[in-house]
Every structure is written in structure tokens, then in C-alpha cells.
Structure 1
Amino acid sequence: MNAQNMNSQNSEMHQERMLQEEVIDLRQYWRIVDRFKWRIAALSIAVAMLTAMVVFSMTPRYQATATLMIEAEQPKALSIEEVYGLDSSRKEYFLTQFEILKSRRIAEEVVNRLNLVNHPEFDPDQQSPSIKDRIKGWLPFLASREMLTEEEARQLKLESVTDEVSSRLSIAPVRNTQLVKITFESESPELAAKVANMVAEVFIDSHLQAKLDMTKQATSWLNDRLEDLRLKLEQSESRLQTFQEQEGLVDVSGVQGLAAQELNQISSQLIQARQEFKQAESIYSLVQSRGADVDALASLPEVLNHKLIENIKQAEIDTARKVSELSRRYGPKHPKMISARDELESVQDKLRSEVRRLISGIHSDYETAQSNVVALERELQQAKTDYQLVSRKETRYNELKREVDVNRQLYSAFLTRFRETSETSGFEAANARLMDPAVAPRLPAKPKKALIVALALVVSAMAGVMLAFLLEALNDGIRNPEDVENKLSQRMIGVLPWVDHDKRERLSLATFFDSSQHSFAEAVRTLRTSVVLSHLDRPAKVISVTSSVPGEGKTTVSENLGFALSQMEKVLLIDADMRRPSVGKEFKLPPYHPGLSNLIAGSNTLAECIYHDEKSGMDIMPAGTVPPNPQELLSSPRFAKAIEVLKSKYDRLIVDTAPAQVVSDALIVSRIADSMLYVVKADSTRQKLVNNGIGRLLQVGAKLDGVVLNQVDTTSKTGYYGEYYTYAGEYAYRAPGVSENAQNVKPKATSEDLEVA
């Protein structure tokens, strides 16, 4: 029944521990801080004092700031609107200017102008040697063996000072403006202001000098180019003039226009002549085809359409009509008829004569048109040749003239730029203006002593707290009831506080009866009550006490639990740790006093092996003679029989056994024990050892009632122990004396009560 109750309790404790793990217990953290509070405070104060000593020994540093406005566009003297023009959209330009301000060239120029190389703050020769230099002096092999010339040493010194100045210089642009803050840090407020202003001045001067150098370089280059362009222009003009003289050209465009006009006229004439020739050729062909027949020739359209032929034809028609009219009135021999017929014949003869003349003219016109076409074609060919010659001359002329024009334009452009550059070279327009010069500060900027000391105090306190948490995390010892339940999954059946005594000696047996140690006595009585209440249905007559390793106080717990139980019952304390027995020594028994080993071996009687303590009223059975084989004695039936006999003579048997992790004696004793108490020294024994020891006991079926946490530090007034022992001290039970204990003491067992086989 007890085993079932214990298993049920262990299961409930395990579930409760799992629930507690899911909730962050802030009180646990506060207890850790409270336990280490004086060490944390000591660490914080020590660090703060050390920081204060270092900070107050540091040389104060001053910071001076100058404000510089950087122009976005370079002003031009030829456009007055651009002198004050600003352009905030060119971010790359401002970033470039910021980097120029940070450049080494600016810092080096500042060093040279202010002669900082010889300033005591920067000159290594005027300063006390640093720790590094001292170490090099102490260790010659670390020193540089390279011999430097005077110039090399001076240059090296300049570079060192320049690096130092650059490291103290800070360039910070003002957001969304064209302003930049130039800040310098120095031990001297005047020097800080002077260097900050000098950086701005050097930056402005360097830009002006760069512009001046560029202007000079541009002027020199333009001058050289102008001379070359002038020579090229003169040479091109000379070639053009020579060509005109050689070709006799006055107005090339006019000559080419005249030649083109003449060529067009000849072409038109040739076209017209060819048309006339074709017409004459066709008429001529018809005439040739009709031969010498005048009547046939007269019927040709070309002949009939001739004006003269038309007139003669009309005259012939009129004369014939007249003859016809006269023939109706007169006879053939009438003079009018004769005159009319003569007139008609005369007209017809004239027609034939004109036809012959016209035919002769057609032949002449044909030959004339043919010769005219040939002449015009020859003239056109000559005109083409002349026009091509003029075109070639014009092409060459234009080529030479273009060369002259280009050279003249280049020369004019360079001459104009050269004169502009020469005229504006004296205008020095800066790209920046010093808006707010730096002034010598009155208060140092570094170090902020109060702030540094306060931060050191806070940081060291935080570091101390973190270190306390780390130590707490690394410490896997059992420190409080929560650890017993959470880490060991066991019930804490009792807590014994630490009692001040010499750590090299055991706790005095009189502590339980000392009126000044009432807290310890009350803790022992509480343990007694827990043990008794754990077995109400069936009292545990045999109580075994063990631990993981030696030195945890299992013997002290056994003795004091016996003292508490002996106030109400008849108790026997048995020292079953026959390897390192200590109960007999505690009660001042001689080493040869018989005990458990002698009883089991049968060399002594029960009465001879028991010692009665008059002060506490408790009987003690020491370990006796140390045997070579303690485990065999404890495993023998005689040991179990002896325990059965003693159980009939005493109300309680408290068995002090060897540590469970050292030997297996406790496992053997657990088989005959009704209850086992596992003693753990607070904040000492590692969790793994305790778990292993408890696990070994549980594997063999030991009836483990719980863990007794021994030597607990109760000096803290916060948390579980402080409150418990504060209140317990007010209501602590004080034993009136030994006489009261003696009332409960029963007669000792005699030798006849035990038969030893």
C-alpha cells in the first residue's frame, strides 16, 4: 500500500514539475539575483571605480565644428545669373565634394600650413613613449633595424601626423541641404577650431588652385592650337588662290551656269533640228517616190498644203470657172474665150513651174536640215566636254574652299575661346563658402565622465547578473525543494539548515540539544514528523539512511533523526557503514567496541554490541570490527535475522549505510528496510550522481520515502528558507533536558533476547 502511495505521489510530482516548467518563475530569477547580490554589487562598484580612475586620468578632448556651404554649379563670369545659382539635384557632385574634404591631400595640406608636425600634441618626439614603444625598447629584437635617411624620417613623420589628423577629422553633411559640418577633435580647444577652419580654407583654396591650373593649362593648349590652325588656314587659302590663278577662274559659279545654259540651248536646237530633218526627210522620200510627174507631185499633201501652191490652185480654179462661164456665152474662137483659155494655161504653167521649184526646195531643205543636225550634234558634244571640264574645276575649287572655310571656323572658335579664357582667368570663383567658422569650445566633448562611469556601473551590474545566471545554469547541484522536485522527481521529506562550525570537523552531537540552535532542532523534528506521517497505516520500523557520496551528512542525519525519535520511542541507531564507520567515533566509543559485524559474525552477544547514550536516551550499535568483506556480511541471512530480532525489541531501527554511488551496501540494506531516506548536500552534489544513486535504489525496489536536503544556507531573508526559518525560530520547541527524554526510554535488550546461530 505504501509503495502504491509513493508511486502515485511521484507521478503527481512529475506532472506538477512538467506544468511548472511551462511557466516562467520570476521569483526563481529574483532568488538567484538575491543570492549573488553582494558579489554583483562588489563587481559593479569595482568596475565603476576602475572606470572612474581611468576616465578621470584621461586627457579631455575638445571638438570644434565649422559649417561649409558647397555650391552646386560653378559660377561663370560671363553669366551673372550663374554666379548665385545652386542646384541641389546633383547628388553625385556633393558626395564627391564630401570625399574630397575627407581626402588625405586636404589633411596633409592642413598639417603643412599649421606646422602640426612640430606641434606637441602630434609630434612623437615631444610625447611620452607609448606602451608599444616601451615594449619595443625592452625587447630589442622587436625594434626596426632599418636605417632611415633624414628625408625618409621626415616623410614618415608627416604621414604619421597626417593619419592622426585624418582620424580626428569628421565630415558630416546636413541632410537635405548643401551644408556640411567639419568637426575636429583635439586636446586644445583653440587648435580644434583652428584645424576645422583650416580644413575649409584648404578645401576652398585647393579648388581655386585647381581652377587656376586648369585655366593656365587650357590657355597654353589653346595658344598652341591657334598657331597650328593659323598655319593650316594660310596654307589652304594659298592653295585656293593658286588654283584660281592657274585655271583663270573669276566666278566659278557663273562660268558653270553659262556652260549649263549653253548646253541646254544646244540641246534644244538639236531637238528642233532633228524634228525638222525628219519632216524634210519624209517629204523628200515622197518626192523621190513620185519621180518627175508634175501632176503626181502636185497631188502630194505636202505640196498642196504649201501656201503658194494653194494660191496658184485657187487662181487656177477661178480661171477655169471663168472659162466655163464664158464658154456658155461665147464660142471657142471668141476673143474672150481665147483670152480666158490663155489665162488658164498661163496659170497651169505657173502651177507646174511652182511645183517644180517647190520640189527643188524640198531637196535643198532636206540637205540643209541634215547638215544642220550634224553640226548641232558636234556642237553639243563639244559643249558637254566643256561643261565636264568646268565641273571638275568647280569640284576642286569647292574642295579647296571648304578646307578654307573649316580652317577659318576652327580658328575663329579657338580664337574666341582663347580670348574668353584669357579675360576670365583673373575671376576666382570659389565652389564653397564658409558659412559658420569654428570657435574654440569651452567644455570638453570627450570623455563624458559621469556618463561613462554610470554606463560602466550599469553594464557591470548587468554582466554580474548574467554571470550569476550563468553560474546558476552551470551549477547542477540540488539547492532547494523545487530542485528536488524538478531535477530529481522526488519528494522532499526534510530540510536541515547549515550550522556554523569548523568545516574540517563534524557537526557536534550536542547541536540538537543546544538552545541556541533551535532552528536546527526544529528542522530535525519536522523531518521526524514527515517520516512518521508517511507511514501512518503501517509504521516503518527500519529506516535506512544513505547518500550519493561521502561527506553529504547521512550520519549526521541518522544521529539527529534518532535523537528526535528517541524523545517519543525506543530507538536503535545501527552503523551499517562498515567500510568507513563513524557513529562510534561520534559517541566516543573505543575502536575495539563490538558492533554489527561482531553480532553478525557471532563473536559477541547483542548486549555487548549495544551502547546506551544517557543524554539522548538512544541506543547505538557501532559498526564493530571492520571486516574484509562487509557486503557478504550484509547479504547473509544472519543480518536479516538480527534485524528481525531487533525490530521486536525497538520501536525504530535507524540504519546508517554506505553511500549508494560508492558501494552496493545500501542496495542490500534496502531489501530489509521499511523506509529509506536519501541525504543530499545542498548546492554540492551533482544532479547526475544523485539521480544515478536514486535510480539504483529504485531498480532494486527500495522503499524510498524522499530526499533530505542537508546543510541548506538559510542566511538569505528572502524566499522559501528565509521565511520558513524566521517563523520557525519564533515557535521552536526547546527540549527541557535529558530527564524528559529518559521518560520514554525503554529497557535495553539482553543477550538472551537474540539467539545467534
Structure 2
Amino acid sequence: MGQISISSRRNEISRHSVGMPDEDRDFIDSRKIGQTLWASKWSILTITLVAVLLAAVLMQTITPVYRAVASLVIEPKGASLISFQPLADPNNPTSDYLQTQISLIQSRGVAERAVKELNLTEHPEFDPRQRPYLMTRLKSLVSSLSPGLFPASWSEGEALTPTQIFDAAVMELMEHTSVGSVGKSQLVTIGVTLKDKQTAAAAANALARGYLDSRLDAQVNDSLTASRWMDTRVIELRTQLQESENKLQVYRDAQGLVDVGGVTTITANELAKTSDRMIDARRERAEAQSQYQQVQSIGGKSAGQLSTIPAVINNPVIQQFQADVAKAQAKVDELSRRYGDRHPKMIAARSDLAAAKASMATQVNQVVAGLQNNYQLAQANENALRASVNTSRAQIQDISRKEFKLRELQRDVDSNRSLYETFVNRLRETTATADLGSSNARIVDEAITPLQPNTPRKSLIFSIAAALAFGFACALSLLRDAMKNTVKSTEDVEKKMHLPVLGVVPLVQKKNRARIARQFERNDDTAFSEAIRTTRTGVMLSDIESRRHVLVITSSVPGEGKSAIAVNLACALGRLERVLLIEADLRRPTLAKNLGLSNGQIGLANLVDGSARSGECIQQVGDMDVLPAGAVPSNPLELLASPRFTSFLDWARPRYDRIIIDSPASHSVSDAALLCALADAVLYVVKSDSTSTPVVQRGVGQLLRNGAPVIGVILNQVSAINARYDHQGYYGYLPGEAYQAKV
């Protein structure tokens, strides 16, 4: 068999290598992480359990602290307990009101009330004499070592005054008190955290009562202060009221006023009537003046012309005289047609006419004189009424001025009296309610003695400890797995050894591991059987260029499963070819035992040393022939290097299509190098996630340097979780009966 150079062999291997895709380099293999964590499950559980136990021991050393909570409701405006309005409402219903009340609850005054009520100065958690500070303890310890070098007060401790003890108790209570609001509601919670759960509940209730009492005391003090101020103010208002009443009475007496309202009403009525009469007089005077002016326009004319004036014509008397004159004229006219001018009747008629005209003229003169008199009377009446109106108006104005002054003084009296009466009523109310509080805060739930401690919270601490320990254990397992430089996947083989992977054999189930030598034949594990078939296909495809009769299967170290791979691969090839399986591991033979051979003591060692013939050593097992190791010799390397072994291989080549040699591990002895030099192809078995990468690299490199024809790697005992793809799910898609029919 010709030797193949290392460089040419590596070139051939590189042609079969499959590069890793760039997109998979940053791939987070969750299944691989899960497999790693599952492999370390007991370590993770142990670390978690230890951490929980340590947490439990630690919590036993911690003194439990209890928290008692009291609830109050504080409304912006309190409900009045009485029908009238209280003196003052100091509440300001703004968004800051509740925060102000919370600050008041946290004030020193409320804490002092609680300390006094519960006598907390004698309680061990509040009395500084019963809980010395760290500095005091250090001073006492140092002074006890060398009493003469330090003041006596260091060992005895400083004496505290009652005030200092009380202040220390108050500060301690304030430090252990927390006050907060519940969401956006008007509820306020007062929480006190102490080692003594009864004292915690009592302190929370005492703080709530102290807050309510301080509010009521403040309201009572405000009421008393207001009462004293209002008492002084009432005296001042009484004096002001008396002075204003005296001024009003003096003014009434000085002005002689009795009923200003009645006088003003009478004067106003008289003025109204006089004004109406003056209007009538003015109208009458205007009419008389018009008639008089008509008479004056005629001047000294005759009575006939004066009788044409409308005021004269319209006079009934004149109209009667005119009728008489007309009648007399008519009579004269009638008689003149009958009689002559000297006729007695004519003379009598003219005499009557003249008498009628004379009477009418006399009467016209009288009427004209009457018009002049009427005009003068109307003018005089108008002037008199005008004077009366002016006098009444002056009287009313004078009365109005007096009334204004009187009302001004009366307003002063009324305002002083109203203010005085108001203050007197409020003074009475304040005096009556001086000790009555109207609070807008009340206790909703009093604090009860807590049953469970607030700290330590055992369930929370256990959960945190378990979670942290579990996370730490998982991280430690992943870190250890990352630092463990082993071959875990096909990618590792192709990347680190630059060899193709001819087969990936999964880890068989525990129930089948004891019978793994006949696993392919029994077909108990379909994934395992399909992996062996895939390896068989890879071996047969490697025969494309030249027939590879002799196939050596080796590994880096013992225990990687090379013998199981050799037996099952020989069984798989035996269904297609004539196969001879040779157990060349003469130092630790296991084939006869695993296959249950009846004559396992006769084998290769006997054949090579000449003590037995091939027909006696070779046994048929299923579809293959098996040559076991036989008796363990003292010189296995010399036997394998002897010409008899080479001659046996030459004898077996034409008789078998495939000769599979189960070789010892390459790192254990040099037998593997010798056998690989006689082989046509070498399969290197690597146990997944077990053998370190440097060991595998050194083993493969050594074989390649010796010219061994390593054609590929078989990755053995690969967990389905550790693989990128689930080979077990893929290989298990056919039922077991179908596999029985496959070759």
C-alpha cells in the first residue's frame, strides 16, 4: 500500500470539509444550553439546596421585627358637631393638605405624647441605658483591659438625665415610625416597626390618638384665645354703640325731629298739589293774557269792533244782546217796508234798536273790563302759587338734608349694633364650645398585634436565595462548560480538526447500553440504527475513487465507544457486503464477551503466533465474520507488527469486501499507529463533550504525520439536546418494523 503525504491528505480532507455559515457564528444554541444545564442538574440542585439551608440558618440568628399599622382618614373639611358654624376652620382643602397632616403625624410633639402614654422610657428598645451604643461598648471594653489608663466614666458609662432618656426614646420612636398615604385616597397609615409586637401595635395606636388629641387641643386653645379676644372686642363695640346712639339723640333734639319720614311725606304731597294748581293757574293766566292782548290790540275802537273779538263774541251775555240787536234791526227793517220814517211804530222800533245797541255796547265794555280783571287775577294767582311751590321745595330740601344726616347717624348706630350683636353671639358660641372639638380626622382601623414578622421575610429570603443560588449554579455550569475545551458537535469537528463528519451517533437509552454491541441488529433504538446507516453510507461513498478494503476504527483514549461503533458498523455493512470484523485490541479484548461468542479464547493472537488456523479463529455472527482477539498475549505490538498479521490481511482482502479492524486507542499505545499504516481508511471515533480538543487534535495529527488515511470522524454518544438539529426526532420518524425491513 502506497504512502500518502500529509499535505495531500490534508488537501483531501479540506475538500470534504463543510464550512460554518457566517450567520450561525452568533447563534445562541438554547438546546445546547439546556443540555449543559441538564447534565449539571444535580450540582445545580445541590448548590441551590445549600444556599437555602444557609439562608435558613442565617435567619435563625436574626431577631424578627414586627410592624403594626393603624389607619386614619383625614378629610379636607370636617363635619360640624353642632348646628352653628364653629369658630374657625384651619383646614385648607388643597393638594398639599394631606402631606401637611402626614408631616404633623411625624412631628416630635405627637411622638412625645406616645412616649408619655406608653412610658416607653422604661422599654428595652427605647431606653438608652438598656441598649448602650457601640462607642459606649468599645469604651467599656477598652477600659476593662487597662482600667488605670482611661477615665472611670469609660467603664461606668455616662449618667443620662431624665430629659436625655426621654429625648432618646422619642427619637427612637420617630426612627421606627413610617407614615404614608394610600394611593390617591384620604387614608393615612401609621406603621411602627419594633421587635416587641405588642409594643408596636400599642405605639401605632398611641401615635394615632396623639395626633387626634393634638388637633383637638389646638382647636380648644384657638377657641379660648378667640374668646378672650372677642370679650375685649365686645366691650369696645358696646362703647362705640353707645356713643353713636348718643350722637343720634342729640341731633334729633337739636333739630326738633320727631318723624322725619312723615313730615317729608306731607310736604311732598303739598308740593305736588301746589304744583298741579300752579300749572292750572299758569294755563288760566295764559288764556286771560291772550284775551286781554286781543282787546288791547283794538285799542279805543267802538263797541261794534270790540264785539268782533272772539273772547267777547263767545261770551253768552254778548251773544244774547247781539240776538236782541238783530231782532230789533229785523223789526225796523220789516216796519220800514210798511211805514215811513215818522211813523210812530217806526220811531218806536228805531228807539228799541238804539236801546238794544246801547245796551250791547255797555255790555261789551263790561266784558272787556272783565277780561282785564281776569287777566290780572290770573297773574296774581300764578305768582302766589309759584311762591308757595318755591317755599315747599325749600322746606323739602331742608328736611332732606336733615334726613340724610339723621340716616347717616342711624346707619352708624345700626352697624355698631349689628356688629356688637354678632360678636356677642359668637362669644357665647365660642364660650359654649370651648371644650368641644370638631375634627375632620378619625381612626378607621386600630393597629392589632401582628402575627407574622415584617423582617426577615422568610419566604422572600428563601425565594431570593434559591433564585440567586440557582442562577449562580447555572452560570457556573455554563462557564465550566464554556471553559471545558471538548468536542461537542459536528461544527467543532469541522472547525477544530478540519475533518468531515461521517456519522453522528446519538447517546442510546440507559436500558440499551448494556447490549450496545448488538444494538443495530436488534434495532431497539431507531435513532442509533439510522446513525449507523448514515455512517455506513459515508464509508461506502468514500470508495468512489478507490476501494477501501481495510478500515481501521480508533479513538484518542479508551472508553469513547470505538468497539461498539466497529461492531455495529460491521453489522450494517454485513447486510450489503462480506465483512470481517477483527478485534485488534489485544490488551483489553471485549468483543467475544459482548457478542457472546462460545469460543472466545481462540482468535487473532492465536492466529498470528501460529497456534491456530483461520478457520478455527473466525466465527460467524449474523451477517458478518468475527475474528476475536483471543488469549491476551504478552507482546501484542510484536504480534501486530509481525509478517504473519500482514500475510493474514493479504489473505483476507480477496475473500472479503470489507475488513474492519477494532484498534486500541491512539494515545494509550502505539498499536493504533501500526494498524493505521496497514489500513486503506481510518475512522476516528470521538466521544461528544468528553474528550478534550487538544487530545483529539494530537491523536489525529499523529496519525496524519504517520501517513494514516484518516477519512473522517464519527461523533459518538451525542445527546439529542446538545445537537443543533434533533437527530433523534428525525431518525425516529419510521416505526421499528420499517427499520427491520431496511438493510
Q: TM-score range by the shorter chain?
A: 0.5 to 0.7
Q: Which residue of 1 aligns with 2:373?
A: 364
* Alignment deviations for residues 513-551 of structure 1 (CA, whole Å, 9 cap, x no partner): xxxxx9xxxxxxx9xx9999997637799x9x9xxxxxx
CA distance in 2, matches of 1:707, 1:111: 83
Counterpart of 1:616 in structure 2 is 637
Letter of the 2:486 counterpart? I
Structure 2 CA distance for aligned equivalents of residues 218 and 375 of structure 1: 68
SS at match of 1:617: helix
> Which of 296, 309, 315 is matched with 2:324 structurally?
315
Please state how far the C-alpha of 1:120 moved relative to its aligned partner.
0.7
Deviations 1:159-180 (A, max 9, x none): 531323314x78869x99x987
Q: Aligned pair 1:401/2:410, yes or no?
A: yes
Q: TM-score, normalised by structure 1?
A: 0.57
Counterpart in 1 of 2:624?
none
Q: Contact conserved, 1:484 with 1:707, CA < 8 A, in 2?
A: no
**What secondary structure does 2:220 align onto?**
helix
Alignment map for 1:20-31 (pairs within 5 Å): 24-25=30-31, 28-31=32-35
1:10 and 2:13 aligned: no
For residues 485 and 237 of structure 1, what CA distance do their matches in structure 2 show? 121
Q: 1:135, 1:110 → 2: CA distance?
A: 33
Which residue of 92, 114, 117 maps to 2:118?
114
1:5 Cα deviation from its structure 2 partner: 7.3
1:99 aligns with 2:107: no
SS in 1 for 2:453: coil
**Distance between the aligned counterparts of 2:253 and 2:336, measured in 1?**
88
The CA deviation at 1:311 is: 2.9
How many Å separate the matches in 2 of 1:49 and 1:395?
100
**Residue equivalent to 1:503:** none
Partner of 2:470: 462
Match of 1:47 in 2: 51
Aligned equivalents of 1:154, 1:445: Cα separation in 2: 28
1:109 and 1:286 map into 2 onto residues whose CA distance is 111
Residues 570-589 of structure 1: matches in 2 within 5 Å? none
What do the CA deviations read for 1:226-247 (whole angstroms, capped 9, x no partner)? 3444344334333433443343
Q: 1:60 aligns with which of 43, 60, 64?
A: 64
- 172, 175, 187: which is aligned to 1:161? 172
Q: Does 1:237 align with 2:240?
A: no
Distance of aligned partners of 1:310 and 1:494 in 2 relative to their CA distance in 1, 3 Å threshold: closer
**Aligned mates of 2:139, 2:687 — CA distance in 1:** 54
Aligned counterparts of 1:336 and 1:242: Cα–Cα separation in 2:
94
Q: CA deviation at 1:295?
A: 1.3
Once the two structures are TM-superposed, the CA of residue 43 in structure 1 deviates from its matched residue by 2.8
Instruction: Output aligned runs, 1:590-739, within 5 Å.
Output: 616-617=637-638
1:422 aligns with 2:431: yes
Alpha-carbon distance change, 432 to 533 in structure 1, aligned in 2, over 3 angstroms: same
Give the aligned partner of residue 348 of structure 1: 357
Q: Percent identity?
A: 28
Please point out which of 223, 230, 235 is paired with 1:222.
230
Superimposed CA distance per residue, residues 631-668 of structure 1 (whole angstroms, 9 cap, x where no aligned partner): xxxxxxxxxxxxxxxxxxxx9xx9x99xxxxxxxxxxx
2:421 maps to what in 1? 412
TM-score of the superposed pair, with normalisation by structure 2: 0.58
* Pairwise CA distance, 1:21: 5.6
How much has 1:323 moved relative to structure 2? Answer: 5.6
Cross-structure match for 1:559: none
- Per mean C-alpha deviation after superposition, the further-off stretch among 49-58 and 245-254 is 245-254
- Equivalent pair of 2:682/2:709 in contact (CA under 8 Å): yes
The superposition leaves residues 301-324 of structure 1 with CA deviations (integer Å, 9 ceiling, x where unpaired) of 211212332233333344445666
Within the alignment, does 1:480 sit opposite 2:488 as a pair?
A: yes
RMSD: 6.3
Looking at structure 2, the residues matched to 409 and 482 of structure 1 have their Cα atoms a distance apart, in angstroms, of: 107
SS of 1:125's equivalent? coil
Query: How far is the alpha carbon of 1:453 from its aligned partner?
Result: 6.8
CA contact (8 A) 2:68 2:200 kept: yes
Q: Corresponding residue for 1:194?
A: 202
Task: Check whether the contact 1:479–1:682 (CA below 8 A) recurs between aligned residues.
Answer: yes
Query: Matches of 1:493 and 1:421 in 2, distance apart?
Result: 105
- How far, CA to CA, are the matches of 2:314 and 2:22 in structure 1? 147
Q: 1:461 to 1:491 in 2, by over 3 A?
A: farther
CA deviations 1:577-612 (Å, max 9, x no partner) are xxxxxxxxxxxxxxxxxxxxxxxxxxxxxxxxxxxx
Q: Indicate yes or no: 2:276 matched with 1:268.
A: yes
Instruction: Report if aligned partners of 2:68, 2:447 keep a CA contact under 8 Å in 1.
Output: yes
Worse-superposed segment, 96-105 or 260-269: 96-105
The match for 1:594 is none
Q: Shift in Å at residue 414 of structure 1? A: 3.0
Higher relative contact order (CA closer than 8 Å, sequence separation 6+): 2
Name the CA shift for 1:490/1:350 in 2 (closer, same or farther; >3 Å): farther
Contact 2:275 2:389 in 1 (8 A): yes
**Shift of the alpha carbon at 1:118?**
3.8
Mapped partners of 2:72, 2:22: distance in 1: 71
- The 2-side partners of 1:136 and 1:342 are apart by 169
Name the aligned partner's letter for residue 17 of structure 2: N
Which of 456, 459, 464 is the aligned partner of 1:451? 459
Deviation at 1:266, TM superposition (A): 3.7
- What is the deviation of 1:201? 2.6
Unaligned residue ranges in structure 2 (runs of 5+): 1-7, 87-92, 143-157, 505-516, 518-531, 558-580, 586-633, 642-660, 668-679, 724-743
Greater mean deviation of Cα atoms: 286-295 or 673-682? 673-682
Q: Is the 8 A contact 1:43 1:460 kept in 2?
A: no
Q: Aligned in 2, Cα 1:311/1:453: closer, same or farther, shift over 3 Å? A: closer
Q: Is the 8 A contact 1:323 1:340 kept in 2?
A: yes
2-structure distance, mates of 1:341, 1:369:
41
Distance 1:94 1:295, change over 3 A: closer
Deviations 1:454-484 (A, max 9, x none): 4366324422343235515753733524562
Q: 1:556-595: CA deviations, max 9, x gaps?
A: xxxxxxxxx99869xxxxxxxxxxxxxxxxxxxxxxxxxx
Worse-matched range after superposition: 445-454 or 302-311: 445-454
Give the aligned residue type for 1:313: Q
1:433-455: CA deviations, max 9, x gaps? 667755556x5535578636743
